[in-house]
Structure 1
Amino acid sequence: MNYQAGRVSGDTVLIEGPDDPVARRRRRVMIIALVAVAAIAVAAFFLMRGGEKPLAASAASDQAPRVTVIVPGRAAVGRTINANGTLAARREMPVGVAGEGGMVTRVLVEPGQWVQAGQVLATVDRSVQTQTAQSLAAQVNVAQADLTLAQSELQRAQQLVDRGFISEADVQRRIATRDAAAARLKVASATAAEQRARNQRLDIRAPAAGLVLTREVEPGQIISSASGTLFRMAKGGEMEMRAQLPEDDLVALPVGARAMVTPVGSSQSFEGQVWQVSPVIDPQTRQGIARIALRYDSALRPGGFASAVIGGGGATMPGLPQSAILSDEKGNFVYVADKDNVVRRRDVRLGTVNDDSVTIASGLDGSERVVVSAGAFLNPGQKIAPVRGKPGV
C-alpha cells in the first residue's frame, strides 16, 4: 500500500492513494444516498401537487353550513282555500228610461233604501202627455155616443120594417152604421189606452223589490232612452263575493261549499255558500270566479274588497313548518336541496295555514328536501351540508 506523507501544522497526515478500494466504496454509498434523497424529494413534490385539489375540496366541504332539511311527504288534510275578490250584488238590476222621457220633476228614493216592485223611483213631467190623454178620452166619449145613437136608430128601424114603413135596405144601412160606430169606439179606446200606458211609463219604477244601490238622476234633468242607467238595485238585497281562484282550486271546489267572508277593514266575518263556479277560465291569468252568496248586511258594500276562507273538501298535500316559508315581492317560496346539496328556490302556493304549520297547495310534490329554517341566511346556488330532520319539526 502506497502512502504520501505531508506535514501540516507540525502533524504528519497519511493520505490514501487514489486507487484505495475503501474510498471508492464510500463514494458509491454517498452517490446512492444522494440519488435516493433526490427521488424522495421529487416524489414528495408531485404528491403535494396532486393532493392540492382534494384538500381544497375537503376544506370547502368543511366550510359548508350545516342546515336541517326535511322530506315532508303528503298527508290527507281538510282542504281550505284562501281567496280574494270583490263584493257585488248577486242580481244587480240597472233601471233606466222605459218610455219617451222628458224632464225629471221628482226623485223619490235615495241609495240604501228598500223599495217594492213597481214603486215609483222618479217622476217625469207629463203636462203635454196629460192633455193628449184627455183629448183621446174625449174621442172615446164621442165614439161611444155615436155607437149609442146608431144602435137606437137600428132598433127603431127594426120595429118599423115589419109595418112596411121602412125597407129592408134601410135596416141594413143602419146595421152597417152601428157596426162602424162600434169599430170607431174600439179604435178610440185603444188609442186612449196606449196613451195612458205611455204616460205611466214616464215614471221610473222599480222592476222588482230590492235595495237601491246608486242614483244617477236629479230633478230638472232631461232624460231619454239614451240616458243610460239612472238607478242600480240589488234584487232582494242579496249580495255575493266574486272570489278569484286558480283553475286547480276551481276543479276541486264543489257548489254548496261553505265560506267565511271578511270585508277589508272589518273584523266581522260573514257566512256564505258557493252557489256558482265559473265554467270558463281566463286564458291570460289562468283564473276563474267562484261566486259566494251572502245575506244582506250593511257592512257588505258592493264594489268593496274582501277575503274568504272556503272549505274545499279533503285533499292530500305536503305540510311544512311555518319557519320553512319565505316570501318576497314575487310571492311565497321555500329552499330545497338538490342531489348535489345545492340550494334551489321553489315558488309555492299556500293552502291551510295553522298556528305552527302550513299546507302547500302547489309547488311541491312532497319528495323534496326542504330547508326547515335559516333560509333567510341562504342564497340560491349555495352549497350546504344537509342534516336530515323529522317531518313536522
Structure 2
Amino acid sequence: MRRFLLLALIAASPALGQTATHEVTSTRIADRKGVFATVESVDTLIARARIGGTVTRLMVDEGDAVQRGDLVAMVVNEQLAPQIASATSQAAALEAELAQARIDLERAQDLFTRGVIAQAPLDQAETAVQVLERRVASAQEAREVLVQQEREGEVLAPAAGRVLTVESPQGSVVLPGEPVAVIASDLYLLRLRLPERHARSIAEGDTVEIGAAALGGDVGPTGVIRQVYPQIADGRVIADAEVEGLGAFFVGERVRVYVTVDTREAIVIPREYVSTRYGNDFVVVQSDSGPHEVVVLLGAETEDGVEILAGLSAGDVLVQP
C-alpha cells in the first residue's frame, strides 16, 4: 500500500527540471491615449471663375472624381460674343484694304519700271502696304485677346481629387475669382487634436494605432505622424498622420486612434503564467517555503504579455501553473 501511494505521488508531481519559471522585472511601456481624428485632405483646392459671367454649364456634382485639367463648369460673358464679331469684321475690312494696297503697289512698281511714274508714288504705295499690314496684325491680336477671354470661361480642375462642394450652381452669375467648386486632393490623412499637455510628447515619425472599429477595406492598422503644427488652438495641439487606405472614407469622418503620449514603469509577465478561477486571477510565486498562489490585478494586454497592476514586485520568481 505504501509503495502504491509513493508511486502515485511521484506520478502526480512535475518532473524535475521541467517546471518553467519566470523572473519578474520592471520595464517601460508606452502610455497610449485614445482620441478621435478626422479624415482630411492634404490640399483643398478651389476651382475659380477667371472671367465674370453666367454659369451656363456645370459638369460636376458633389462627390465626383476629377482629374487635373477636367472641365468643371462653363462661364459665358454675353458681351464677349459681339465684341469678337466686331473685331473679326474690323480685321476682315483691314485685310481687304491690304489686298487692294498690294494690288496698287504691284501696279505702281510696273509703272515705275516703264518710267511712267516717279519714285514718290511708288514709295507711298509701299508705305501704305506696310501700314495696313501692321493694322491687320494689330486687329488680329485684339481679336485673339477677346477669344482668349472667352476661352477663360472654361473653369478647369486645378488638381486631381474629389469634389467636396459646388459653390456656384448652373445659372448663377459669378465675378472673376469667385469659387465654383471646392476639390479635395487624392491624398488623405488623419488630423489629430490632442490636449496641449501632450504637445511635447508627440513628434514626427511617431506611430499611431487605428481603432479596430474603424478598420475596413484596405485601411492600414497603423499610421505615422506626418506633421505637428507649431500653433496650439483652443488648448489643443494639431497633428497629421498618414494612413494607408483612407481614400474610401468621407472627408470629415471621425476615426478613433491611439497615440503614445508617454512611457511609464510597469510589470509585464507572459499570459501563460496567469490562471483564472471564480473571476479572480492567480499566479504561482516561488518562495523559500515553496510555491504559493498570489492574487494579481491585471492591466492591459501588450506585445510581451499582460501588465500586472498589483500583486507582484520586481524580483519575484513565477512558476508556470
- What TM-score do the two structures reach when normalised by structure 2? 0.65
Q: Distance in 2 between matches of 1:280 and 1:74?
A: 35
Q: Is the 8 A contact 1:243 1:292 kept in 2?
A: no
Tell me the alpha carbon deviations over residues 15-46 of structure 1, each in whole angstroms, 9 at most, x when there is no partner. Answer: xxxxxxxxxxxxxxxxxxxxxxxxxxxxxxxx
Q: 2:199 aligns with which of 247, 264, 267?
A: 247
- Structure 1 spans left out of the alignment, 5+ residues: 1-71, 322-351, 359-371, 374-387
Q: Distance in 1 between matches of 2:193 and 2:301?
A: 19
1:204 paired residue number: 155
Cα distance, 1:117 vs. partner? 2.7
1:221 paired residue number: 172
Q: 1:113 aligns with which of 53, 64, 72?
A: 64
Residues 144 and 266 (structure 1), Cα distance of their counterparts in 2 relative to 1, 3 Å cut: same
Q: Percent identity?
A: 18
Q: Secondary structure at the match of 1:297?
A: helix
Task: Note the 1:256-295 alignment, pairs <5 A.
Answer: 259-261=208-210, 266-268=214-216, 270-271=219-220, 274=224, 276-278=226-228, 280-282=230-232, 285=235, 287-292=237-242, 294-295=244-245
2:103 paired residue number: 152
- Displaced runs of 4+ in structure 1, greater than 6 A? 78-81
2:125 paired residue number: 174
2:48 paired residue number: 96
- One-letter code aligned to 1:287: V
- One-letter code aligned to 2:52: E
Q: 1:165 aligns with which of 80, 98, 116?
A: 116
Cα distance, 1:390 vs. partner? 0.9
- One-letter code aligned to 1:307: R
Tell me the alpha carbon deviations over residues 78-117 of structure 1, each in whole angstroms, 9 at most, x when there is no partner. Answer: 7877553221112211122211223x22322111112233
Cα distance, 1:175 vs. partner? 2.2
Q: Secondary structure at the match of 1:318?
A: strand
RMSD over equivalenced CA pairs, Å:
3.7
Tell me the alpha carbon deviations over residues 237-258 of structure 1, each in whole angstroms, 9 at most, x when there is no partner. Answer: 221112235322333x32xx66
- What TM-score do the two structures reach when normalised by structure 1? 0.54
Q: Is the 8 A contact 2:229 2:237 kept in 1?
A: no
Determine which structure has more spread, i.e. the larger CA radius of gyration: 1
- One-letter code aligned to 1:390: S
Cα distance, 1:224 vs. partner? 1.6
1:238 paired residue number: 187
Q: Distance in 2 between matches of 1:132 and 1:296?
A: 49
Q: Is the 8 A contact 2:63 2:163 kept in 1?
A: yes
Q: Secondary structure at the match of 2:56?
A: strand
Residues 280 and 353 (structure 1), Cα distance of their counterparts in 2 relative to 1, 3 Å cut: farther
- One-letter code aligned to 2:226: Q
Whether 1:308 and 2:250 are equivalent positions in the alignment is no
- One-letter code aligned to 2:125: R
Task: Note the 1:59-74 alignment, pairs <5 A.
Answer: none
Q: Distance in 2 between matches of 1:146 and 1:79?
A: 87
Q: Is the 8 A contact 1:151 1:178 kept in 2?
A: yes
2:288 paired residue number: none
- Structure 2 spans left out of the alignment, 5+ residues: 1-23, 269-299, 317-321
- One-letter code aligned to 1:357: E
Residues 281 and 216 (structure 1), Cα distance of their counterparts in 2 relative to 1, 3 Å cut: closer
Q: Distance in 2 between matches of 1:283 and 1:210?
A: 28
Q: Distance in 1 between matches of 2:26 and 2:233?
A: 30
Residues 145 and 282 (structure 1), Cα distance of their counterparts in 2 relative to 1, 3 Å cut: same
Q: 1:390 aligns with which of 285, 301, 313?
A: 313
